[in-house]
Structure 1
Amino acid sequence: MDYRTKSVIENIESNYENFTPVEKNIADFFIHNNKKGDFAAKKLAEKLFVSEASLSRFAQKCGFRGYREFIYEYKQNFVVKQEVITQNVSKVLTTYQELLNKSYSLIDENQIKRVIDYFNSSEKVFVCGKGSSGLAANEMELRFMRIGVNIDSITDTDQMKMRAVFHTANSLIIGLSISGETEEVLHFLKEAHKKKAKTVLITSQNRDKVKDYCDEIVLVPSLKHLNYGNVISPQFPLSVMVDLLYSFFVDEDKNLKEKLHGDTLEALNINYEK
């Protein structure tokens, strides 16, 4: 398989917002193309329904003297990356790809939709975790808070014990624990179940003992059995699942939620300027 090294494509991407609509059309072609071919100005202009002058202006905006120089560099940057990639880079990227493949195999879209229904029917959402799972919990709070969800992340042991007292049937409790054995998280979920709250555990271990107090056990891949899993952040599988939940949730009312997200960013900018 042919790959391009980063320089030319990153150059295009970094200048993308400076392009005219016609130039963005040209940029999109070069960004997404992954095949060697005939890039002669006349043929490409016909293929993209643009003028040769547009190709020249595009190349100049990318920092080249003209289209000929640009396309020379572009063609030079087609390399068989496997020949030059280091062993460490190869192992890490292969492990990430394996994690993504495992995530795809584990995904249950109907289950994700049920969890989204819990979001919609709950007055308050709590997400908790320790260590790397706590970082994922913090990220989840920031993401969902920006689109109008009343959500808190809890990563402190004492806070989990105290906040568990205030669970109600109108709450959604999400626990993050790759091992499925984090005592504080499991206690938080147990107490929520007693108060009739909806409970979701996101974990890599489908343990029978948690089924008594979890409405949903959402599975993510484990790093344990991967050849190079010891160098991968344990937060990664959880972050992928958070992104999936976020995507499904936003998609239900995309215009409104994108507006809310934009409003929060604007509010942050206003506060920063003050």
Structure 2
Amino acid sequence: MKDCEFFFESKENVEQDGRVILDEYRTHLKDKNTREDINDNELLEKCINIVFEHMKYNRVYIYGIGSSSVVAREFKLRFMRLGLDVDYLAESHSIRMNITRVNQESLVIGISVSGKTEEVIEGLREAKEKGAKTIMLSAARVYEYRSYYDELILIGGLKNLAISDKISPQVPALIVVDILYSHYLNYNNDNKKEKLQMTLEHINYELEE
């Protein structure tokens, strides 16, 4: 009985916490800087051009450690459905070893919400030195690493985002992945939708009308 009483006594607190989190999401998406960051169409078009170019050649490699590995994996799964040859590396040794596969026809995308993940930053630096194209996704304006990436995609920044103060750090990054995916699916749409349909057929999934 006491457990039940505790549950009902705390119900109001739970509802309040839920409202706080939802308000935080709304604030994030309405924030002027966030909108400008994730709706920089010129930048996104540049990045899609790079992705589209590398679809014709070698693999695309996604680097992400910790919470960013969730985003890296989702990036792989989403774009793999469209026929992109993409792999993701989610721990430091894999990122270090992967440099042997990187060449001038590679695209390397590094994800670091904080902009301080040494393995990801170092992976981008080494990839750049080998002539690969590089893109960085971050909530931080890491211009000090400008020589390591060709493009920086800012995912919008809430205070303390990197330490999951309120919103899970991967959520804003996943929003950017969704935008990139949508742009890519509709960009120079040759046979991407056919490949998507083929993928869905192979996993026995039928899109709802």
**With structure 2 as the length reference, what TM-score do the two structures score?**
0.82
For residue 84 of structure 2, what is the aligned residue in structure 1?
Answer: 149
Runs of 4+ in 1 over 3 A off after TM superposition: none
* Counterpart pick for 1:120 among 52, 57, 62: 52
Query: Which of structures 1 and 2 has the larger relative contact order (alpha carbons within 8 angstroms, sep 6+)?
Result: 2
Superposed, which structure 2 residues align to 1:90-109 within 5 Å?
Answer: 90-102=19-31, 103-106=34-37, 107-109=39-41
Distance 1:168 1:154 in 2: 16
| CA drift at 1:222 | 2.4
In structure 2, the residue corresponding to 1:269 is in which secondary structure? coil
Amino acid at match of 1:214: Y
Amino acid at match of 1:219: L
For residue 203 of structure 1, what is the aligned residue in structure 2?
Answer: 138
| CA drift at 1:165 | 2.4
Q: How many residues matched? A: 184
Give unpaired runs (5+ residues) of structure 2.
1-13
Distance 1:151 1:225 in 2: 30
Amino acid at match of 1:144: F
| CA drift at 1:135 | 0.5
Distance 1:208 1:221 in 2: 15
Greater Cα radius of gyration, structure 1 or 2: 1
| CA drift at 1:87 | 2.1
Give unpaired runs (5+ residues) of structure 1.
1-84
Q: Deviations over 1:106-143 (max 9, x none)?
A: 13110110111111111221111011100000000000
In structure 1, the residue corresponding to 2:72 is in which secondary structure? helix
In structure 2, the residue corresponding to 1:148 is in which secondary structure? coil
Partners of 1:127 and 1:141 within 8 A in 2: yes
For residue 233 of structure 1, what is the aligned residue in structure 2?
Answer: 168
In structure 2, the residue corresponding to 1:100 is in which secondary structure? helix
Distance 2:166 2:140 in 1: 20
For residue 135 of structure 1, what is the aligned residue in structure 2?
Answer: 70
For residue 100 of structure 2, what is the aligned residue in structure 1?
Answer: 165
| CA drift at 1:179 | 0.5
Q: Deviations over 1:16-60 (max 9, x none)?
A: xxxxxxxxxxxxxxxxxxxxxxxxxxxxxxxxxxxxxxxxxxxxx
